[in-house]
Amino acid sequence: MTDSKYFTTTKKGEIFELKAELNSDKKEKKKEAVKKVIASMTVGKDVSALFPDVVNCMQTDNLELKKLVYLYLMNYAKSQPDMAIMAVNTFVKDCEDLNPLIRALAVRTMGCIRVDKITEYLCEPLRKCLKDEDPYVRKTAAVCVAKLHDINAQLVEDQGFLDTLKDLISDSNPMVVANAVAALSEIAESHPNSNLLDLNPQTINKLLTALNECTEWGQIFILDCLANYSPRDDRESQSICERVTPRLSHANSAVVLSAVKVLMKFMEMLPKDLDYYGTLLKKLAPPLVTLLSAEPELQYVALRNINLIVQRRPEILKHEMKVFFVKYNDPIYVKLEKLDIMIRLASQANIAQVLAELKEYATEVDVDFVRKAVRAIGRCAIKVEQSAERCVSTLLDLIQTKVNYVVQEAIVVIKDIFRKYPNKYESVIATLCEHLESLDEPEARAAMIWIVGEYAERIDNADELLESFLEGFHDESTQVQLQLLTAIVKLFLKKPTETQELVQQVLSLATQDSDNPDLRDRGYIYWRLLSTDPVAAKEVVLAEKPLISEETDLIEPTLLEELICHIGTLASVYHKPPSAFVEGSRGVQHKRLTSSAGSGESVESPDTGSAAVSEAPPAVIPSQGDLLGDLLNLDLTPPTSTGPPPAAAPGMQLGAMDLLGGGLDSLMGDESEPLGGDIGGSPAMGAGFGAPPAAMPASFNAPISGGLDDLFDLGGGGMTMGTYIPPKTVWLPAMKAKGLEISGTFVRRSGVIQMEMTLNNKAMSVMSDFAIQFNRNSFGLAPAGPLQILTPISPNQSIEAALPLSTVGPVMKMEPLNNLQVAVKNNIDVFYFSCQYPISMLFLEDGKMERQVFLATWKDIPNENESQFQIKDCHLNSDAASNKLQGSNIFTIAKRTVEGQDMLYQSMKLTNGIWVLAELRVQAGNPNYTISLKCRAPEVSQCVFQNYETVLKN
């Protein structure tokens, strides 16, 4: 029989014809018509108009026809909810059919019809089917509970289906168990805190028994569920591992990967000196290697996972380098992944082989692959010191091939090798210089210019080389321009006599003819440095550079831990936590590895050769791994493209200002000069060499913005008199964030909370694409818009940013209460830090309570909610204190003087509506104040007290 003819009818009036056929008396004709309808539906035509006619065909004993009608119903019921009711009777009847296949079919289809009225009718049949004598019906009903839950979660809970589903975990039939586990796991995901999947040793035992008996898919459901369990001790861990290991020999790769996930996770619990631990490690390698002989798509999934496994436990595959060698016919996505893993596994022992392979790859066809191979050679040089020489000579060989992109890529990596091993391989510079003209990519040009500048004293014609680039200065990309500027300044400092003209030329090109603020800034800095203090200039420009790290693309350890818990899933393929690509509530739970009590430290592999890989760089918030996913859920598009242009916040700036503002200010001694302007263009600067400024700030790259802030504060909002703003503190030290230093503070102006930050780039490369996100916090603080940093931050530049905050974000209680965890992303990585905001940020302007209300509330709040604190060494009188506090929205409602002691009654209101009442006792001549705080949420008292203390003392 051929059904393809149904695809071909496209005549006009087709619907009309079909209608007639559907109502035909002949069974065969009816069936033909329904098939045509389904074919049209597949192609995307709207055949919903035929709804009543198709539903009329439902009442049939022809199973094939019935299935077709059901298929139609599933597609269109939602658009015709009233008509769909017509089908209910048949469903209910079918659920009582003698044939279990029909009972199951009915309950399966009914669950797919997302119409509220139908779901009401579904409950009774579903209840019966969950207890059906036939396992086929039960396994179908189990999945149906998940379907119903997706439509109406409340209904499922009210009807008690969850308990029935839990009972099915003990069912005698393995497939029923597996489906029940799958359904429960899915439902549990949307109720993170419910104890729905109550995993205890008994249920685990049941699952492990079913594991041996159910289908391959069922085994996957069960293993994925097992991975969420936390064993009580290492013995339980070991016994589960022992029962899971046989799965490693399953023909289905997904079963194998899920088993690997369970083992990788539970291994954390095992003491490392245990014999079994070693055995287990050995058992993991062969199945992982076998995955590489699967179909290419699965190989890809396997390789992405192996990449994670190798980062976590390099010892497992350290002897298996060869299996990752690229085959000529591998699809490109497999090749690229294999290359990544090869670099990770490269060590002194196998470097010769690896290099020989990489050299082969560098002659292949695919450009991306070739580039990556060349880059890999450079990474090998940096990773395995002993091989550096061989790598360099391999790269030189490749440069000789004269293939343009190979040459360019090679030069970029040679630059990195120079950084890692300074003054070792400069003999190759001559060869590099020969290829100067063929370089047309900015990155390669910049790299080459850097090399020339860095080694200017050893290159005879360095000035000519650099001069040749200068001709087309304005056509170069920023990256090249900046590099060229620096290189020429370096050259000048090294050979001042013959290059004066050149340096003048580049400085004027950079400062006078360029629109790029970064370039101009850097130009001015150099200019001023050179003109004032050449010795200092030498110290700054020719300073010793920090070493570059071995592994540049390691996944951040907490993220890695989370991803290990997601082995086999999409998260492990994307190398992103689920929350980064899953919408809604699902997948936002964060999984983490639980390690045994004794081994809290990072995983140390027994051999030192690979120890470097497993030594985790310190996480900024190490103790809160489970929060990371939230923070990581950053919008990955650069902020410039998202929001509207920045609201004119007083702290917003042009990037140019802060770098020079402080110094210039003091130089010119002119306080009335408006500071918001573009100082770079101010006439004082035009003098250049001729008029050397009187003094330079000691460290020109440190932001000198304290004074500026104050100025802005006064000019900013009208009512902020006396608002206390804590000084900026360093939140994120550069050491922990690959050179990005963030310091900042919080201010409240005209009712708007702002986070004011100074971002300082202390790294050697340009930073851009900034984005920010907060973790959930006690008062729901969240960025009100994207972080507006419009220009990239060049090395040694700092930029001010003001981020308006709202208080409508997700809430989670933090410890301490005013703790805020922040993630900042840039083009380099994502960084995390935490800071504390003064609680007065949250005090509303309308926090002044009526006197009567105050009295009543004070009485109403129970005494156990009252807390008393001492504020020592405060020399203000009560009026001054009251004024000062008012600036922070702490309002004095009444004042009473009793026996020389002033009692101030004050109130404040938090953004979330919590009122705090205070009684402040000030005794003349006594520097110690006493304060009593009353609040319905006594947790805040401590914070409020601290705030009083800081406000009064500053």
Partner 1 sequence: MIGGLFIYNHKGEVLISRVYRDDIGRNAVDAFRVNVIHARQQVRSPVTNIARTSFFHVKRSNIWLAAVTKQNVNAAMVFEFLYKMCDVMTAYFGKISEENIKNNFVLIYELLDEILDFGYPQNSETGALKTFITQQGIKGQHQTKEEQSQITSQVTGQIGWRREGIKYRRNELFLDVLESVNLLMSPQGQVLSAHVSGRVVMKSYLSGMPECKFGMNDKIVIDKQGKGGTTEDTGKSSGKQSIAIDDCTFHQCVRLSKFDSERSISFIPPDGEYELMRYRTTKDIILPFRVIPLVREVGRTKLEVKVVIKSNFKPSLLAQKIEVRIPTPLNTSGVQVICMKGKAKYKASENAIVWKIKRMAGMKESQISAEIELLPTNDKKKWARPPISMNFEVPFAPSGLKVRYLKVFESKLNYSDHDVIKWVRYIGRSGIYETRC
Closer by beta carbon to partner 1, 53 or else 337: 337
Closer by beta carbon to partner 1, 573 or else 711: 573
Q: Angle at CA 581, nearest 5°, toward 575 and 586?
A: 115
CA distance 124 to 516: 71
Closer by beta carbon to partner 1, 46 or else 553: 46
Closer by beta carbon to partner 1, 1 or else 698: 1
Closer by beta carbon to partner 1, 63 or else 274: 63
* Residue 679: CB minimum distance to partner 1, A: 44
* Residue 427: CB minimum distance to partner 1, A: 25
CA distance 454 to 267: 49
Closer by beta carbon to partner 1, 401 or else 477: 401
CA distance 817 to 334: 48
* Residue 53: CB minimum distance to partner 1, A: 18
Handedness of CA 606, 609, 612, 614 (dihedral sign): negative
* Residue 697: CB minimum distance to partner 1, A: 48
Q: Angle at CA 635, nearest 5°, toward 631 and 636?
A: 110
* Residue 253: CB minimum distance to partner 1, A: 5
Which two three-digit tokens encode residue 402? 């004269």
Closer by beta carbon to partner 1, 177 or else 952: 177
Quick one: how far is CA 332 from the chain centroid? Answer: 27
Which two three-digit tokens encode residue 639? 């902020």
* Residue 138: CB minimum distance to partner 1, A: 8
Kindly report the three-state secondary structure assignment for every residue of 741-787. EEEEEEEEECCEEEEEEEEEECCCCCECCCEEEECCECCCCEECCCC
Which two three-digit tokens encode residue 953? 């003392």
Q: Minimal CA–CA distance to 489: which of 534, 443, 520?
A: 534
Task: Give the type of residue at 559.
Answer: L
3-state class (DSSP) for residue 114: coil
> 934 forms bridges with which residues in the sheet?
866, 917
* Residue 827: CB minimum distance to partner 1, A: 20
Closer by beta carbon to partner 1, 11 or else 327: 327
The answer to whether 622 touches 772, Cβ cutoff 8 Å, is no
Closer by beta carbon to partner 1, 208 or else 621: 208
* Residue 151: CB minimum distance to partner 1, A: 8
* Residue 313: CB minimum distance to partner 1, A: 18
Closer by beta carbon to partner 1, 75 or else 806: 75
CA distance 343 to 382: 11
The answer to whether 857 touches 915, Cβ cutoff 8 Å, is yes
Closer by beta carbon to partner 1, 42 or else 205: 42
Q: Minimal CA–CA distance to 524: which of 705, 677, 654, 657?
A: 657
Closer by beta carbon to partner 1, 5 or else 545: 5
* Residue 186: CB minimum distance to partner 1, A: 7
**775-792 burial string, b = 16+ CB within 10 Å, else e?**
bbbbbbbbbbebbbbbbb
Closer by beta carbon to partner 1, 7 or else 689: 7
CA distance 514 to 604: 52
Q: At what angle do helices 63-76 and 27-43 cross, to 10 degrees?
A: 40
* Residue 317: CB minimum distance to partner 1, A: 13
DSSP label at residue 644: P
For the range 456-460, what are the long-range contacts, defined as Cβ-Cβ under 8 Å and sequence gap of 24 or more?
456/487, 456/490, 456/491, 456/494, 456/495, 457/494, 457/495, 458/426, 458/429, 459/429, 459/433
* Residue 402: CB minimum distance to partner 1, A: 5
Closer by beta carbon to partner 1, 1 or else 543: 1
Which two three-digit tokens encode residue 950? 């800081």
Which two three-digit tokens encode residue 112? 């797919």
Residues 6+ apart with CB under 8 A from 716: 650, 749
* Residue 571: CB minimum distance to partner 1, A: 5
CA distance 414 to 398: 12
Closer by beta carbon to partner 1, 1 or else 535: 1
* C-alpha distance across the termini of the chain, in Å: 90
The answer to whether 517 touches 658, Cβ cutoff 8 Å, is no
Q: Angle at CA 62, nearest 5°, toward 61 and 66?
A: 95
* Residue 389: CB minimum distance to partner 1, A: 22
**Based on the number of CB atoms within 10 Å of its own CB, is 567 exposed (0-12), middle (13-18) or buried (19 or more)?**
buried
The answer to whether 944 touches 916, Cβ cutoff 8 Å, is yes
* Residue 231: CB minimum distance to partner 1, A: 20
Closer by beta carbon to partner 1, 34 or else 657: 34
Q: Minimal CA–CA distance to 907: which of 871, 863, 943, 855?
A: 855
* Residue 2: CB minimum distance to partner 1, A: 5
